[in-house]
Chains A and B, each alone.
Chain A
Amino acid sequence: MLRVEAQTRLGALRLDVALEVSPGECLALAGPSGAGKTSILRVAAGLLAPERGRVLAGDETWLDTAARIDVPPERRRCGYVFQEYALFPHLTAWQNVAYPLRGVPRRERRERALGLLERFGMRELADARPRTLSGGERQRVALARVLARDPGVLLLDEPLSALDPRTRAGAARELAAVLREVEAPALFVTHDFAEAAHLGDRVGVIDAGRVIQEGTPSELAAMPRSAFVADFTGAVVLTGVAHGGPNGLTRVDLDGGGHVTSTDRGEGPVAVSIYPWEITVEPAAAPPAPGSTRNHVSAEVLSVTRVGNRVRLGLAGPQPLAAEITGLAADELGLRAGARVTASWKASATRLVAI
């Protein structure tokens, strides 16, 4: 269990948060840059001292300003993956990984570092310097180095943002595998809600130093408590398996049943993303109008949340969906929880990303 409470002033920002992460769980902190996400990680790691706060990890107290406890960073067992990975440029990949292995005999250090690199398919590059490695390779070295520390807590600061879009999907997959495997509680910081939804068991949306809403990704998308969360949660993400279809279109069989069509190319496991405002809703009783819209999914309305002049509908289909319509349309259709509807959207509004 990791518990972080912090209240402190950071320039113009007032940070005031209280978070708890269970063992084996990953809490993703998502928010715009400057919201204070990284500062929370720095408080947890002991790199930033808040005016008031507590950090509890398992049965250890790392920080308690009221009791004047402040364990230095080197004695907190944190696995901190920095945004640009912070690999030591003068050391080779294996020497970077061996850095936390103190008091281990020389030969064993190398063996253990090589073993960890092997796990990430990096053994051949053990003698390479960081500057000769690609972004994805650097991330793997950084993860191996953090695991060498045998961390009690994992802290990940935008580990995917330094990567180009092509390598990001693969790196996210590797990261997800590490997060599944490690039993330590993990805090993951990102400015990208889709990334948070993919890697976090729960997502906390942070704005201006506060956690403004916390929940599973689909809860946040379906029932945003503020316009900020509604905008930030952006696209709905579904998963499925893509096959090339007729006319150059791609057919995706959704996990849990049903299928959708996309104009994007894709093959194999994909994440399908649609913006809630691209989705139209009709009562299920009405037959689908013969129109240009290719995708129709029948669903039950779970929640109706007013966000300004809009209404966010949480929908239970084969996978959770969220649609955004005007308040006027919601009233005319008489939509309330429990209503059966058909959600429709165009193939050209359906984005595919390989996972």
Chain B
Amino acid sequence: MRAFPLLLALALAVVLTFLTVPIVAIFVDSSPAELIDSLGEPGALDALWLSLRATATALAVILIVGTPAAYLLATRSFRGKSLVVTLVELPLVLPPAVAGIALLAAVGPSGILGGAVEGAGIELSLETAGVVVALTFVASPFYIRQAMASFAAVDRTLLDASRTLGASEARGFVRVMIPAALPGLAAGTALALGRALGEFGATLMFAGSFQGITQTVPLAIYDRLGTDFDSALALSAVLVAVSGAILLSVKFVQGSEALGGAPG
């Protein structure tokens, strides 16, 4: 009987070692001074700046369009709703390379909608706008899924109360539903942010890897792998720090949700 708890502890030790050693190695393999030094290189700064801009733009698009769409899916029932939800969630399980090919086939230069996109004067492939499209495509389901769950968890009588108190549904959405669902929406935002920041495959296939234009941090890391390992390590360290910060903020938000989410 005493062997079993020991076995459990051993399993946890293996998991912990396996998952943390590589991350710790990033910071141990080269000195902090070397890391900071290689971040000063123009290509690395370009990649960081591009990742920041593209991710922020993609997140803005996801929040503005995804929030009302998630609200609709959470509060209405209609025929074929589960099919719609499945379609929205599909990119979650799609291999990133497939996502890239799919985007090329749809809005690439020779894609089925490529002509229309070009006609509208929008350049996507090999342009920063293409990076934004790729990030939005892969990251939005993470946000929409979480937002749907948070809207669905809000007590519907709050919306009823808002309406009987003279507010239109649109006003109730802004004044009541969004604030009540906020912790969940923030968690969804963090998940989408994490996914967008780490995006590699779809961006590479759809937008390419041009320094300062489409080369985000993950692409820059891959680019430096053979030539400048220290620089790749430095960029990786930055991503680890940012990802850790995102994870902590999700935990913090969910912690305060557990404290503050008691029914009013």
Query: Which residues of A approach B to under 8 Å, CB–CB?
Result: 45-47, 72-76, 78-80, 82-91, 99-100, 102, 129-131, 138, 145-146, 149, 155
Listed residue (A72, A75, A89) with the most chain B CB atoms within 10 angstroms of its CB: A89
Find chain B residues with CB under 8 A from A88 CB.
158, 161-162, 176, 179-180, 264
* Contact yes or no, B166 A74, CB < 8 A: yes
Distance A145 CA – B163 CA, assembled complex (angstroms): 13
Q: Verify if B153 is at the interface (C-beta below 8 Å from A).
A: no
Distance A82 CA – B163 CA, assembled complex (angstroms): 12
* Contact yes or no, A86 B158, CB < 8 A: yes
Contact partner, A99, options B162, B168, B180, B264, Cβ 8 Å? B162
Distance A46 CA – B163 CA, assembled complex (angstroms): 9
* Contact yes or no, B164 A90, CB < 8 A: no
Complex A-B: 8 CB contacts under 8 Å = A72-B163, A74-B168, A86-B157, A88-B162, A88-B264, A91-B179, A131-B262, A146-B165
Q: Verify if B263 is at the interface (C-beta below 8 Å from A).
A: yes
- Chain B: which residue is nearest A131 at the CB level? B262
* Contact yes or no, A90 B157, CB < 8 A: no
Task: List 17 additional contacts besides A80-B164, A86-B155, A89-B262; criterion CB under 8 Å.
Answer: A46-B164, A73-B164, A74-B165, A76-B164, A83-B157, A84-B263, A86-B160, A88-B179, A89-B260, A99-B162, A100-B165, A100-B166, A100-B167, A102-B166, A129-B264, A131-B260, A131-B263
From residue A231, how far is it (CB to closest CB) to chain B in Å? 31
* Contact yes or no, B164 A78, CB < 8 A: yes
Q: A130-B264, A131-B262, A131-B264 are in contact. Are A86 and B166 (CB under 8 A)?
A: no
Tell me if A's interface is mostly helix, strand, loop or mixed: loop
Interface residues on B, range: 20 to 34
Q: A82-B157, A82-B160, A131-B264 are in contact. Are A90 and B165 (CB under 8 A)?
A: no
Q: A88-B180, A131-B260, A131-B264 are in contact. Are A149 and B157 (CB under 8 A)?
A: no
From residue A221, how far is it (CB to closest CB) to chain B in Å? 33
* Contact yes or no, B264 A73, CB < 8 A: no
Q: A82-B161, A89-B264 are in contact. Are A149 and B166 (CB under 8 A)?
A: yes
Find chain A residues with CB under 8 A from B182 CB.
90
Residues 162-203 (chain B) with a chain A CB within 8 angstroms? 162-168, 175-176, 179-180, 182
Q: Tally of A-B residue pairs with Cβ under 8 A?
A: 78
From residue A14, how far is it (CB to closest CB) to chain B in Å? 22
Residues 41-87 (chain B) with a chain A CB within 8 angstroms? none
- Chain A: which residue is nearest B182 at the CB level? A90
Find chain A residues with CB under 8 A from B262 CB.
89, 131
* Contact yes or no, A47 B160, CB < 8 A: yes
* Contact yes or no, A47 B167, CB < 8 A: no
8 tightest CB-CB pairs across the interface, nearest first?
A: A89-B264, A86-B161, A130-B264, A73-B163, A80-B164, A90-B179, A100-B165, A86-B157
* Contact yes or no, A99 B157, CB < 8 A: no
Find chain B residues with CB under 8 A from A79 CB.
164
From residue A301, how far is it (CB to closest CB) to chain B in Å? 47
Find chain B residues with CB under 8 A from A72 CB.
163, 168
From residue B37, how far is it (CB to closest CB) to chain A in Å? 47
Find chain B residues with CB under 8 A from A149 CB.
164-166
Find chain B residues with CB under 8 A from A82 CB.
157, 160-161
Distance A73 CA – B159 CA, assembled complex (angstroms): 11
* Contact yes or no, A145 B165, CB < 8 A: yes
* Contact yes or no, A45 B164, CB < 8 A: yes
Distance A145 CA – B162 CA, assembled complex (angstroms): 11
Find chain A residues with CB under 8 A from B158 CB.
86, 88-89
Find chain B residues with CB under 8 A from A146 CB.
165
From residue B144, how far is it (CB to closest CB) to chain A in Å? 22
Find chain A residues with CB under 8 A from B157 CB.
82-84, 86
* Contact yes or no, A90 B166, CB < 8 A: no
Find chain A residues with CB under 8 A from B161 CB.
80, 82, 86, 88
Find chain A residues with CB under 8 A from B180 CB.
88-90
A-facing mask of B100-120, CB < 8 A → 1, else 0? 000000000000000000000
Find chain A residues with CB under 8 A from B264 CB.
85-89, 129-131, 138
Residues 220-264 (chain B) with a chain A CB within 8 angstroms? 260, 262-264
Distance A188 CA – B75 CA, assembled complex (angstroms): 28
- Chain A: which residue is nearest B163 at the CB level? A73
* Contact yes or no, B162 A47, CB < 8 A: no
Distance A131 CA – B182 CA, assembled complex (angstroms): 17
Find chain B residues with CB under 8 A from A73 CB.
160, 163-164
From residue B159, how far is it (CB to closest CB) to chain A in Å? 9
Find chain A residues with CB under 8 A from B175 CB.
99
- Chain B: which residue is nearest A80 at the CB level? B164
Distance A90 CA – B176 CA, assembled complex (angstroms): 8
Listed residue (A80, A84, A90, A129) with the most chain B CB atoms within 10 angstroms of its CB: A90
Find chain A residues with CB under 8 A from B162 CB.
88, 99
From residue A138, how far is it (CB to closest CB) to chain B in Å? 8
Distance A254 CA – B17 CA, assembled complex (angstroms): 80
